C-alpha cells in the first residue's frame, strides 16, 4: 500500500504508543521509546514486519513508545497506515 497522507494512531499512555506515518521518498523509521535501550531491536523488527506485510515501500514512520507490547505496536501501526492510505 501507499502512504498518501499523514495518518496517526495511538496514545501517549503508559504501555501504549503513538504512531505517525507520512508520505516520504523512501522508507524511514524513527523510534523514540522509554525502553529504547533494551527493546529498540524488537520494536524495529515488529515495525518492519508490519510494513512489509502491507507492502509499504516508502514513507516516514515515527513512533513515540511508552513500553507497548508487540501486539499493540502492530495494531497501532496498522491503524495509522489505514488512515494514511487515502479513500
Partner 1 sequence: MARNSVGREIPETFAGKKLIPYSDPWSLQPHAERSTRAIRRLTHNGSKLVGGLRDAIIASGLKDGMTISTHHSLRNGDYLLNELVKEIDALGIRDIKIASSSVHIVHAELIPYIRKGVITAFECGVNGPIGELVSKGELDCPIIVRSHGGRARSLITGEVPVDVAFLAAPYCDEYGNFNGFYGPSACGSLGYALVDAQHAHKVVAVTDNLVPFPAVPVGIPQTVVDFVCQVPRLGDPKKIVSSTTKVTTDPIGLQIAKYAAMVIESSGYMKTGFSFQTGTGGISLAVAEHVRNMMRKGNIKGSFGCGGITGYFVDMLEEGLFEALFDVQCFDLKAVESIGRNQKHVEMTAGTYANPFNCGSVVDRLDCAILSATEIDVNFNVNVNTESMGYLLHNTGGHCDVAAGAKVSIVVAPSIRGRLPIVRDEVTTITTPGETVGVIVTERGIAVNDNLPDLKAELIKRGAPVKDIRQLRDEIYSVTGIPKPVEFEDKIVALIEYRDGSIIDVVRQVKP
> What residues line the site for partner 1 (CB under 8 A)?
14-15, 34-35, 37-42, 66-70
Q: Are 26 and 58 in contact (CB under 8 A)?
A: yes
For the packed helices 70-84 and 36-53, what is the interaxial angle rounded to 10 degrees? 50
State which residue, 1 or 29, has the beta carbon closest to partner 1: 29
Strand order in the sheet with 7-10: 7-10, 17-22, 59-65, 27-33
Query: Which one, 72 or 84, has the nearer CB to partner 1?
Result: 72
C-beta of 39: minimal distance to partner 1 in Å?
Answer: 6
Find the shortest distance in angstroms from Cβ 21 to partner 1: 21
Amino acid at each position: 500500500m501507499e502512504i498518501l497522507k499523514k495518518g496517526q494512531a495511538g496514545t501517549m499512555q503508559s504501555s501504549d504508543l503513538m504512531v505517525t506515518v507520512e508520505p516520504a521518498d523512501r522508507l524511514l523509521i524513527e523510534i523514540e521509546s522509554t525502553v529504547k535501550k533494551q527493546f529498540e531491536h524488537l520494536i524495529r523488527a515488529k515495525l518492519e514486519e508490519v510494513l512489509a506485510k502491507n507492502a509499504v515501500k516508502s514513507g516516514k514512520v515515527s513512533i513515540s513508545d511508552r513500553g507497548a507490547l508487540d501486539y499493540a505496536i502492530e495494531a497501532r501501526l496498522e491503524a495509522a497506515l489505514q488512515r494514511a492510505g487515502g479513500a
